Amino acid sequence: MTLALLPGGKPESEPDRRILAPGAPSSPSVVPLELARHLELGEPLVWWDEKLHIERAPIVLASALAVLALGLVSLVAPEFWMQPATTLWQPLLAICSPLLFAILRERMSRRSLLVTDSSIIEVDFGGNMQRLGFDNIRKVKRDLLRGGLRLEGARAVVHVPAVLQDDARAAIESQRRGRVRTREGVDDETRWLP
């Protein structure tokens, strides 16, 4: 008896993107087991996606601004670099703080989202899960720390990264279509919630 090693991963015949429910946006193929375990037994999955990578554009922009600021300081006040290192680190930290904030923001915004027929589920990079039913959403506002949106309920808070906002909204809208819409009790300053 011999054992043959089969290549792992997604089969080549499987499509890259898959539509899981009528009217929902496409999802990246089959949901991984570590995300599927957050679904309840028999719960229909409408859409899922994840933000795993760090966007380079905000980091490059913050880096360019820091280099520009340091270049201007060098041209206007070259004696700035003559001060001792014990006092130099404070202004350098102040100049580079937008870059540090951009890196921190991008790292904190990495997460996966799953939309079912009745709720939205967030799984952050550490594996922590938050579930928020569509009818339990009380407030929708911009998330200044992580970027994107923050959906608040009575007992849960779900963060939606900016790159997943449109698809998450379309998935929720596909499930809310045909239902009576009441905006009572929902504070949606962004008008994002369908």
The predicted pLDDT at position 128 comes to 94
Over residues 100-126, the mean pLDDT reads: 94
- Give the model's pLDDT for residue 190: 87
Domain 33-52+111-188 falls in which CATH fold? PH-domain like (2.30.29)
Domain residue ranges in the chain: 33-52+111-188, 56-107
Distance CA(36)–CA(21), nearest Å, equals 16
Q: In the beta sheet, which residues pair with residue 157?
A: 152
pTM of the model: 0.80
DSSP 165: H
Strands 149-152, 157-160: pairing kind: antiparallel
Residue whose tokens read 């990495």:
110
Per-residue pLDDT reduced to its tens digit, 7-47: 545 556 666 788 888 889 999 988 899 999 999 999 999 99
| 68 within 8 A of 99, measured Cβ to Cβ | no
- What's the rounded mean pLDDT across residues 172-176? 90
55-81 pLDDT per residue, tens: 999 999 999 999 999 999 999 999 999
The answer for residues whose C-beta is within 8 angstroms of residue 156's C-beta and 6 or more apart is 130, 131, 132, 136
- Neighbour count for residue 63 (Cβ, 10 Å): 16
Q: How far apart are CA 77 and CA 79, in angstroms?
A: 5
Share of the chain above pLDDT 70, in %: 88
pLDDT at position 14: 60
Q: Residue 153: CA atoms inside 13 Å, Cβ hemisphere, count?
A: 16
